[in-house]
Amino acid sequence: MGPLRISFIGAGNMAQALAKGLIASGVTQASNITAASPVADLHLLQQMQEMGCKVSHSNTAVTSSSVPLALLERTLGRGRRVVRGMPNTPALLQAGASVYCRGAWATDADAHLTHTLLSSVGDCYEVPEKFMNAVTALSGAGPAYAFLMIEALADGGVREGLPRALAIKLAAKTLLGGARMVLESDSHPGALKDAVCSPGGCTIAGVSALEGAGVRGALINAVTQATLRAQQLADVANTSSKNERRVTQDAVDNIVKVEN
């Protein structure tokens, strides 16, 4: 197999995070990556160029929708091999959590190649397409929830007198450490939480405040609302013929084309 040549249509946050992660993982070299984006995005293409990637303006359509496999297949034509993926931005640090699902004509080799690419930038799972909206809402959008929580926890530390920089570091490292304990132990998150709560102590006072404010319900609802939005975007793409023409182009344009 020759070097993996990868083309991103769009050079924004997700494309740059994936490109950096893929390069750092060694799965391909920057010179084998090409990004296409509108002229208006010159600064993004310059950033890609600084990473050593090739750039192009050849694609001018604009998109903001997630696109289901069936639409991609309908657009590209019967028999076209499509794999749909949902990465997240920690791919930048090879700490991503990605999923993919294969279209009707995708082969085992296509799935294997997708798995190789996405697992080079973090964890990767194959899922049925019916999970895609929920995955988008949980792990695709999830880094934003984590950043919001880190920022808010740091605000709490600052409110209690900690310097901002220290508070942010402590908050981020605490979430990272907690996440590692969940992933690297067999314990349920609830049991790990219980182990931090000394009887009559400080933590249970804090946990009680969180429960009283409905933080648990708010997080559940965040995933539900984001899932609904993902479904809305897919519905729009599927039902509006005008939109379909636009999204059709977007769909073709948004494929991460991988050539062996």
Ligand X SMILES: O=C(O)[C@@H]1CCC=N1
Report the C-alpha gap between 250 and 213 in whole angstroms. Answer: 41
Q: Which is nearer to ligand NDP, 14 or 167 (CB)?
A: 14
Tracing tokens 């969180």 back to the chain, one arrives at 210
Q: Which is nearer to ligand X, 59 or 66 (CB)?
A: 66
Considering only residues 21, 68, 87, 96, which one is a binding residue for ligand NDP as defined by CB under 6 A? 87
Query: Of 153, 144, 194, 192, which Cα lies nearest the Cα of 172?
Result: 153
140 touching ligand X, by CB under 6 A: yes
Amino acid at 231: Q
Q: Which is nearer to ligand NDP, 9 or 138 (CB)?
A: 9
Tracing tokens 């809305």 back to the chain, one arrives at 232
Cα within 13 Å of Cα(131), Cβ side = 15
Tracing tokens 């709560």 back to the chain, one arrives at 197
227 touching ligand X, by CB under 6 A: no
Considering only residues 98, 120, 136, 254, which one is a binding residue for ligand X as defined by CB under 6 A? 136
| DSSP-assigned letter for residue 136 | I
Say how many C-beta atoms besides its own lie within 10 A of residue 74's C-beta: 15
Beta-strand pair 33-36/54-56: parallel
Q: Quick one: tokens of 248?
A: 């059709």
Tell whether 132 is in a known binding site.
no
Considering only residues 141, 168, 171, 234, which one is a binding residue for ligand X as defined by CB under 6 A? 141
Question: Which of these ranges, 27-35, 46-54, 133-141, 185-193, lies near ligand X under the rule CB under 6 A?
Answer: 133-141
75 touching ligand NDP, by CB under 6 A: no
Tell whether 48 is in a known binding site.
no
Is 255 within 8 Å of 249 (Cβ atoms)? no
Report the C-alpha gap between 101 and 91 in whole angstroms. Answer: 18
Smallest separation, CB 107 to ligand X (Å): 27
Question: Which of these ranges, 123-131, 134-142, 215-223, 246-254, lies near ligand X under the rule CB under 6 A?
Answer: 134-142
Residues that bind ligand NDP (CB under 6 A): 9-15, 36-38, 40-41, 44, 59, 61-63, 66, 86-89, 140, 250, 253-254
Annotated binding site: 9-14, 37, 59
Annotated binding site for NADPH: 59
Residues that bind ligand X (CB under 6 A): 136, 140-141
